[in-house]
Structure 1
C-alpha cells in the first residue's frame, strides 16, 4: 500500500549512523522516517571516545564500563601495557546503546517504522517510493500487524550496514566493497577477583586472525570476546574458542553470539547524484587497523543529514556529495595511515611481534591515546614524532629487539 504523505527523507537502518541522521533531520524540522528491523545487534567491542560523548550528547549512564587502558598481546604472548594517562574509554552495549539512539530520534520527531527495505522506484515527478517488506523474525512478534508498505519521500539515506541493499541498488561500485568478517560472543564477566574489568585486551596472533586481531573488551557485567578476518574460509568460531581458552574465559556463560561483515575502507562515492546518500558501514566508514566504527558512523550520519537538509532546501542533488567530501577532509588522512599500518604490521607474526614491541613505547602510547580521544592527528609535538619515526625505522630494519 502506498501512503499519501511525502516525507523529506527516509533513513534505512537504525544503527548509530541512521539513528543520528534521523534525529538531526527531525531537529532541523524535516519530516523523516527511520526504517529499521528489530533484533539485529552488530558484533562490536563497544568502545566510544570522549569526543563522541560530548559531540553527540551521550549521557554517562549509558556507559556499562570505563576502560583505563589496554593490554596488547604479541604472537609469543609478550605483553605491552598501554595505560591511559588522563581519562578513559567508554564502553557501551550495542543492544541498549543503539535502541537509546533510536528512541532519541523518535522523541526528536522522526517516525519509526519496522520493516525491511526492498527496493526504490520513482514516480514521474521524481518522488521516491521506498518499498518495504513485512517485519520478520523478532519484528513479526513485536509488530504482528505489520505488512508490506511503501514510503514516499524526496530523499533516502542508506545506513543499512556493510552489505547495504540501498547501496548495491543505487551506488555504482558499492557491490565491490571489501570486508573483514567479525564474530564475537557476549559472555558473563567473571568475578572481579578473577578478571580485570578495567582494561581491554587486544591479541595479535596469526592463529587467531591471519590479518586482523582478537579482542576481549569488558562491559561491566558482560564481556565481548571476538575477532575478525578478511580471509575467506577462516573459521571464526573455533578461533574465538581458542581466544577464550587462552584468556581463561572458556567456562564463562555465553549470553549471545553475533557476526557481521565490517568494511575495510570508505567507498569512493556515497551518493547517486540524484536522491540517495550513504552513511555508516554502508559508506564504509570503519577505521582500518582498529576496526573502530561507532564514532565514524555517527559522524557520517550527521554529515549525511546536513547534506540532505541542504538538498531539501535547494533541490540541488550536488548537495549530497558534501557528506563524503567533508568526512574525508576531516578523517581521510587518519584512514589512509591506519590502512597502511594494517597492511604492513598485520601481514605476519614476525611483524606483529615488532608491532607490539612498538606499542610498549611511551611516546607511541601518548600519541595513540591522544589521537583516539580527539579523533585528530596530533601535530603539536614534532620531537615526539621524530623519535617515533626513528624507532619505527629501527624495528623495520631489525636493529631493535622485540
Structure 2
C-alpha cells in the first residue's frame, strides 16, 4: 500500500515525435487478417501463412513480446524482415498514476494515424479487487454524450478508436503489471492472489460510448477473448452503454458480451437531464431492448448502473419505482456513490440515504451492491476519466504528490 499517490511522466511521449515518418507501423493489436497482410508483404508464401500467423499470434498475445527477435521458433530471416518493416510498439504511457488503493491509471499517447494528423490521448484504468482484477478500457477519444454527472462528457468527441487501439490498452496494462507468462509482478501492484492472471475482467466503461463504435469494439473483443492469446472470455467482458437502443440487439448477437446499462434515473424527466440520450431513446424503449437482449438470464444478468446523486435520484420512491421498472427482469443493480470532479454541480448522496436505497432494492429481490469508489485521488473512479490530464504541468506530473492534493 502506498502512502502517496505516484505520478510518473514519459517526457518523450509526444504526438509530434510519434507521428514522424520514421516510425514503423506496429503489429500490436492486429487481428489475424492484419498479421496475414503483414506477413505477405515481407514475402511469406500463402502456403505458410497459417503457421506463421499462429506463431506471431502466440508471441504477441500470449507471451507479450515487444521484439520480433525474441520469437525463438520463427525463422531468423523472417524475424529480421519483420523487424525491418514493422514494430510491436504499444501506445506510450505519457502519465502513469498509482492510487493509494492500488488502482492504476494510464494516460496513453496515441500517434497520428496518417501524415499530418495530430495525436490524441486516452485513459484506461486497472482496478485490483479480491479474487479478480478489472481493466476499464476506452472506446473513443472523448465522448459524444453529455451526461451531467460524467467528467468524460465534458470533453467533446474527437474520434473513434480503432480495434488495435482498444486491444493495445490491454497490452499496455499487462506490460506495466508484468502480467505475462513467466513474469512476476512487482511489489507496487496490489493484485489478486488467487493464482490467476492479474487482469481477469474487461469493462468498456472508459472514455466514450462503445455502441457508437461497435464495429471496432466487436473486432477488439474477438482478439481479447481469443483462447490462443489474451484469453479473457466473453463472459468476463462487459460493455456499458448509456442506451443506444438500436445497437443493443447487435451487441448481443455479434459479441455475446455481458451488458451494463447506465440508467441513473427512474423517470424520463430526470433521466433527460442526467443522460440527454434519453430524449431520443426513453426508458421504456431502453428496457424493452434489455428484455430482449440475447442470452440474458438469471445466470447472465444485465447490470443496471445507478449513480447516487443527492436530492436528484436517491429517494425511497425512486428505489421503489426502480423495482417496478425492472420487475421480472434478470438484473443486478450497481449503486455508485457519485465521484466528484472539478467543476461538477452534483453532490454524492449521504451514506444513510444510499444504505436505505440499497435495502429497498434488496428487499425487492434484487442484488444491489454499493460500488466501493476506487482511484478517486487520481481521478480514475467511475465518471472521472478525461484525457486533459495531459494538461497538468510537466513539472507537477513528474513529482510524487500527496493523494489528497487531487481529491
TM-score normalised by L of structure 2:
0.27
Higher strand share: 1
TM-score normalised by L of structure 1:
0.28
Q: Which has the higher contact order (CA 8 A, sep 6+)?
A: 1
